[in-house]
Structure 1
Amino acid sequence: MAHSDTQTVRQTAPVLSVENLTTSFLVDGAWKPVVRDISFSVAPGETVAIVGESGSGKSVTSLSVMRLLQKDMSRTEGRVILGDRNILELPESEMRKVRGNDVAMIFQEPMTSLNPLFTIGDQISEALLCHRPMTKAEGRAETIRLLDKVRIPSAASRFDEYPHRLSGGMRQRVMIAMALASRPKLLIADEPTTALDVTIQGQILDLIKVLQEEEGTSVLFITHDMGVVAEIADRTVVMYRGDAVETGRTEDIFLRPKHAYTRALLSAVPMLGSMRGEAQPLRFPKIDNATGLPDAPREGANTVATDQKPILEVKNLVKRFDVHAGLLGKLQGRVHAIENVSFSLKQGETLSLVGESGCGKSTTGRAIMRLIEPQSGSVMLDGKDVLAMDRKALREMRRTMQMIFQDPFASLNPRMTVGAAIAEPYLEHKLGSQKQAREKVVDLLERVGLQPDMASRYPHEFSGGQRQRVCIARALALDPKVIVADESVSALDVSIKVQVINLLLELQASLGLAYLFISHDMAVVERVSHRVAVMYLGEIVEIGPRAQVFENPQHPYTKKLMAAVPIADPTRRHRRRNVASDELKSPLRAPDYVPEIRRYHQVAQDHFVQV
């Protein structure tokens, strides 16, 4: 439905009306409410976004509407009117007819929603045959039409493919096709783009807008990303700790937010282009958790001396993974994960490696640390050749260069207190006594904004943001000069992300740390970087000062990445980014493949682009 018809849309009866919804879970024998007295409606053809951070109750709200919560452990009160029926009062047999027919749902992780044992064609046609009277041949034809509709290339040939053969973006398209199979009046999308790369996210958002215009479907969109909300939602419900703290037109909420928490969420959104004219990385405004209000002006970060010698120099780094197949394990090909990668990093500088999943940026970080062994190239750290080191020298090297991983929970031993986890590398390297280690732990916990008495707690007793702070403290235990941060903030909520980024910038300013910051989040990269290297299929296609790369991108892939970033500006809501729906090409090559020699053109000082 065209957006010009919005006023007409809102005057008709709502497709979904949620009235005083309260959902409670059974905890230690008592009912604990996690969603309290929520009310909102969705009109025909309208998109309503429920936005909030982890634990706000937004996903529980959508699962309550669909009646997908475990019956013996949950209790849902209030009214959920779909059409003219309160679906909370329907028997389960009737509710099964509603799900997938009148209301369909797309979940965050498509791989866990698709059955790996069945082809995607069989799974979509099963949804059709359950709800509509048709033969198998008609089901196949309709499935191919749906696959074509969600812009899956070569739809007919993809019918018999299994989910593992498709990329994350293509799997999410399959889930959308399955959800649309019975032409539902309402589509509930629960974080459908969170796990996707920025260009794939752009494609999915464009796709949902186009399908909505073609089919007139209403959408209830659940997300924590304010940029996505601005681009897709007509109205927005802001949730905080189980309550709806603000509801209204998206433009009003972005331009005139009334609640302190909404203002805090908006102030924490990294805006692409906000660094124009700024020479150095900037910290975000800090957020007072009690009031939700941003504090005093932003401070600048560390300035890097131009004549300084690099602390880390990487030259012509190559890493390929052999792919074997068949009974005899014959070599079928090689994945060219890193191909001829070169860059340098100075003390106190942040170089960001950006690109989509599969571009080789995390492999680069691991190869530099020698967590995987590269085929060739050189890695010089403080004048020493990392790739020529024996085990003893490598152990010493890791005092100088440490790594922070994406998932802090997987990085910490659940049976070890965080104090013991932070002290472990200090004691292993014999840098001091047990008493000195305890003093070091207290100092590091305070440095990363945690209380010293938290040292006796276990990882499960901390939030995601606090666990990432523990991982940063652990990385700092050996007083390193270089830190490789591999997607270290991508799994965090927006306000926690801001806190961790500010912490990293403050530590850089006070300790002179050099960061290799690996990320796919272009807005965060713009905020924290001195220089940026863009990776595509294992190669650096553009590298240069942050201002040059962001304000004057030269390579087509860099431009594509920039164009796909959601902007937290509701006036752009009805624009199409027109991000091409092609998939990232495979880095798998034949065993005898010889890569061509790449040439680079200098655009400006220190700004190079592959030609």
Structure 2
Amino acid sequence: MPRPVLSISNLNTSFRVGGEWMNVVRDVSFDIAPKETVAVVGESGSGKSVTALSIMRLLSPANSRVTGRMDFDGKNLLDLPLDEMQKVRGNRIGMIFQEPMTSLNPVLKIGRQITEVLVQHRGMSHADAEVEAVRLLDRVRIPSARSRLNEYPMSFSGGMRQRVVIAVALACSPKLLIADEPTTALDVTIQAQILELIKTLQEEEGMSVLFITHDMGVVAEISDRAVVMYRGEAVEAGTTQEIFANARHPYTRALLSAVPQLGSMTGTSKPMRFPLVDLATGEAAPLKETADTIKTGRYPILKVENLVTRFNLKSGLFGRVSGRVHAVENVSFSVREGETLSLVGESGCGKSTTGRSIIRLTEAKEGKIEIAGKDVRRARKSDLVAIRRNAQMIFQDPFDSLNPRVRVGSAIAEPILTHGLATQKEASERVADLLERVGLSAAMADRFPHEFSGGQRQRICIARALALEPKLIVADESVSALDVSVKAQVINLMLDLQEKLGLAYLFISHDMAVVERISHRVAVMYLGEIVEIGPRASLFENPQHPYTKRLMAAVPIADPVRRHLRRISNDEIRSPVRPPDYVAPKRTYREVSPDHFVQVSDP
């Protein structure tokens, strides 16, 4: 057996909290062999990212304490002086973080950020470093690499920024690459490209990879072995195939059961709740029947006709319009009472702008929007307030939606009091009822947002959205940032509320597996246009548009035996920026089955 590249023995990490030490990683041990990929998997708070930061010694020594052994290249990393550890970081061990913009300096050009690493760690001249920077960008599949050296991070898409971060991490040909949730914030197609890129570069460079994630589908795609962490402890370890075929620990079984499987709804026509599993025991909770009892109304709560939303790009001294972002182009659809219509597509396709235009948080340029029979675009300010009683929005990040200085009870009561719907006492009673309706206790009304978990905060945002008893909820990536088990709980809650209250949902997402499970109908957006729309079963079982097929092909397969069956496209989504005189072509649609329409020509 070859000597491990990295050997972790009895790793313990503690943080000083309120004058006392709190142990957050306890007695974790594992090895990484040469050219091997080991996934450390677990939900938020399991200790997996703290483990990675401990290996890199990036935790502040003032309020953290790390003990145990971390043998790398024959040396215990914990014994190295700081200057020696700095030589290891970025040189022998590279690291990729979840959000590339936290790793890249927004005011420095990409080329300078790569060449600085090469000059500092490899002693290159600036001229040689620039040549090598171009080679690295080529290696991570960034087109026109030389010309893009002089661009700033903001001019790159999320997927391309992550490729730049990988290029920086690979600059010194590290022996070990630590990837901490590098694809969590990316669309499913870009995620597939990044995973494929990491595997390809690993084979070419012969490096080992420590891959940290909460997504068991990603674990199945990329890892040779997996270490499952729960509440700071490694509760199970083994080859990826062994763990997926015969998981022993209840928490591992719970993680596996919470992964939505694309295609699991074949043959059914109604949305279906997620099975809930107790993370501590791995036992499935009793699950009610599917939402067959939901009766969709005859008339639309929401009607959108030929919606157009564009943003001017100005340049020059006098602010001349030099181009336009065609964010939403001639979009039409309707949503009925008790129905869920999902808008799906990658970042930049226009789905979130469509949702914001409907609520008039963003002003549309053309088209007609009706909510409960009221014209949204022509409504005066006073009328718009009344219209918004019938339509509420839930955003992706619940913490950004809540004022950290306002108790959650006051945040939920605010719209009730603003609209004059109740007295202060009645509003307090209504808040207690809403909190219990979303699975929280009335006593939690006095807490602040930071005292809740991410899933609980999203439940609070749902309670606030329900405060005005709306008929329509626009949910914009409302579960994308949640762990799989919490995501299942929140989606089940939304389905329960839809069944009880007859709510209509416009569910905006890029997660095809979740969309398949909860939708009545699905609309696929690309470059601001709907390219395919139809009943969920028809669209998923018989996708017609190439872009729809591409989205589905990119979904991770939660089975390591089938990991090579995915077809990866390396195409980037095209830019929606057009010249000022651009006239959008008229589109035609073909009905392939009842109410299932596909755009005849690509945009």
Shorter-chain TM range is: over 0.9
SS of alignment partner, residue 443 of structure 2: helix
Of 190, 194, 197, the residue aligned with 1:200 is 190
How far apart are 1:80 and its partner, in Å? 0.3
Cα distance, 1:394–1:564 mapped onto 2, change above 3 Å: same
Could you say which residue in structure 1 is the equivalent of 2:231? 241
Higher deviation after alignment, 141-150 or 225-234:
141-150
Aligned counterpart, 2:321: 331
- Does structure 2 retain, via aligned residues, the 8 Å contact 1:302–1:508? no
CA offset at residue 323 of structure 1? 1.0
Q: How far apart, CA to CA, are the structure 2 residues paired with 1:181 and 1:87?
A: 21
Percent of aligned pairs sharing the same letter: 68
2:574 pairs, out of 585, 590, 593, with: 585
Asked if structure 2 preserves the Cα contact closer than 8 Å seen for 1:23 and 1:75, the reply is yes
What's 2:488 paired with? 498
Distance 1:304 1:604, change over 3 A: farther
Paired residues of 2:296 and 2:337 also in contact (CA < 8 A): no
Structure 2 match to 1:463: 453
Task: Identify the residue that residue 116 of structure 2 maps to in structure 1.
Answer: 126
Q: How does 1:290-301 map to 2 (within 5 A)?
A: 290-297=280-287, 299-301=289-291
Superposition map of 1:103-118 within 5 A? 103-118=93-108
TM superposition shift of 1:296: 2.4
After superposition, where does 1:376-387 map in structure 2 within 5 Å? 376-387=366-377
Kindly report which structure 2 residues correspond to 1:285-324, keeping only aligned pairs within 5 A, or say none: 285-297=275-287, 299-302=289-292, 308-324=298-314
Q: Please, which moves more after superposition, 66-75 or 575-584?
A: 575-584
Cα distance in structure 1, aligned partners of 2:461 and 2:104: 34
**Contact kept in structure 2, 1:419 and 1:441, CA below 8 Å:** yes
User: Is the 1:444–1:477 Cα contact (8 Å) retained in structure 2?
Assistant: yes
Give 1:595's match in structure 2, choosing from 584, 590, 594.
584
Aligned 1:120-199 pairs, distance under 5 A: 120-199=110-189
Tell me the matched-pair count. 600
**1:522 to 2:512 alignment:** yes
2:2 to 8, 12, 24: 12
The 10-residue stretch of structure 1 (128-137 or 187-196) with the greater mean CA deviation from structure 2:
128-137
Residues 352-404 of structure 1: CA deviation (Å, up to 9, x unaligned):
00011111111111111111211111112222222221122211111111111
Alignment of 1:539-554 (within 5 A): 539-554=529-544
Q: Does 1:474 align with 2:459?
A: no
* Aligned partner of 2:18 among 23, 28, 32: 28
Secondary structure at 2:413 match in 1: helix
Deviation of 1:579 (Å): 2.5
Counterparts of residues 45-444 of structure 1 (less than 5 Å): 45-297=35-287, 299-302=289-292, 308-444=298-434
Superimposed CA distance per residue, residues 265-318 of structure 1 (whole angstroms, 9 cap, x where no aligned partner): 111111111111121111011233553422224520145657812221110001
**How big is the shift at 1:405?**
1.1
Q: Distance in 1 between matches of 2:476 and 2:292?
A: 21
1-structure distance, mates of 2:33, 2:210:
10
CA distance in structure 2 between the aligned counterparts of 1:488 and 1:203, rounded to whole angstroms: 24
Distance 1:56 1:325 in 2: 48
Deviations 1:97-134 (A, max 9, x none): 11112111011111111122322222222212222243
The RMSD of aligned alpha carbons is: 1.4
Counterparts of 1:344 and 1:208 in 2: how far apart (Å)? 41
Q: CA deviation at 1:578?
A: 4.5
CA contact (8 A) 2:297 2:338 kept: no
Match of 1:513 among 491, 503, 506: 503
Residues 452 and 292 of structure 1, relative CA distance in 2, 3 Å threshold: farther
CA distance in 1, matches of 2:322, 2:292: 48
Find the residue that maps to 2:291 and give its secondary structure.
coil
User: What is the CA distance between 1:196 and its match in structure 2?
Assistant: 0.9
Tell me the equivalent position of 2:596.
Answer: 607
The TM-score, its normalising length taken from structure 2, stands at 0.97
Q: 1:289 to 1:184 in 2, by over 3 A?
A: closer
CA-to-partner distance for each residue in 1:178-234, whole Å, 9 max, x for gaps? 111111110000011111111111100000111111111100000111110110011
| Structure 1 residue 463: Cα displacement | 1.0
Unpaired stretches in structure 1, ≥5 consecutive residues: 1-10
In 1, the alpha carbon distance for the partners of 2:596 and 2:365 equals: 27
- 1:307/1:411 Cα in 2 relative to 1: closer, same or farther (>3 Å)? closer
Distance in 1 (alpha carbons) for counterparts of 2:373 and 2:100: 46
CA distance in 2, matches of 1:381, 1:224: 38
Whole-angstrom CA distance in 2 between matches of 1:126 and 1:108:
22
What is the SS of the residue equivalent to 1:50?
strand
Comparing 298-307 and 442-451, the one that deviates more? 298-307
Structure 2 Cα separation of the partners of residues 80 and 307 of structure 1 = 61
Structure 2: distance between partners of 1:136 and 1:421: 54
Q: Is the 8 A contact 2:294 2:502 kept in 1?
A: no
Q: Take 2:574 and 2:271, find their aligned partners in 1: how far apart are those partners?
A: 33
Q: Over residues 522-545 of structure 1, what are the superposed CA-to-partner deviations in whole Å (9 max), with x where a residue is unaligned? A: 111111101000011111010001
CA contact (8 A) 1:203 1:578 kept: no
Residue number in structure 2 paired with 1:3 = none
Task: Report which stretch shifted further, 580-589 or 312-321.
Answer: 580-589
Task: State the distance in 2 between where 1:166 and 1:106 align.
Answer: 17
SS at match of 1:71: coil
Residue type of the alignment partner of 2:533 = I
Paired residue secondary structure (1:72): coil
Give the TM-score normalised by the residue count of structure 1. Answer: 0.96
How far 1:515 moved relative to its partner?
A: 0.3
Contact 2:294 2:499 (C-alpha < 8 Å) held by counterparts = no
Tell me if structure 2 keeps the 8 A contact 1:280–1:303: no
2:477 aligns with 487
**Residues 304 and 347 in structure 1, CA contact (< 8 A), matched pair in contact too:** no
Q: Give the SS at the match of 1:387.
A: coil
CA distance in 1, matches of 2:311, 2:149: 30
Distance in 2 separating the partners of 1:536 and 1:26:
48
What amino acid is aligned across from residue 448 of structure 1 in structure 2?
A: V
Residue pair 2:412, 2:463 contacting (<8 A) in 1 also: yes
**CA–CA distance in 2 between the matches of 1:453 and 1:531?**
38
Contact kept in structure 2, 1:206 and 1:578, CA below 8 Å: no
Secondary structure, in 3 states, of the residue corresponding to 1:419? helix
